[in-house]
Amino acid sequence: MTRGRTKSPESAPGTLEAEYYAQRASAGLIITGGAYISKQAIDSIRVPSIYNNQRVEAWARVTSVVHNNGGKVYVQIAHSGSVSHLPGRFSRNTPFAEGNMATYYQGGPDGCTTYPSLEEQESSTASL
d(CA 45, CA 106): 18
For every one of its 128 residues, what pLDDT tens digit does the chain have, with 9 covering 90 and above?
466 778 887 889 999 999 999 999 999 999 999 999 887 777 777 889 999 999 999 999 999 999 999 999 999 998 877 666 555 445 555 665 555 555 555 544 555 555 556 566 555 554 44
Say which residues have a Cβ less than 8 Å from residue 31's Cβ, sequence separation at least 6: 73, 74, 76
How many residues comprise the chain?
A: 128
Q: What is the pTM of this model?
A: 0.71
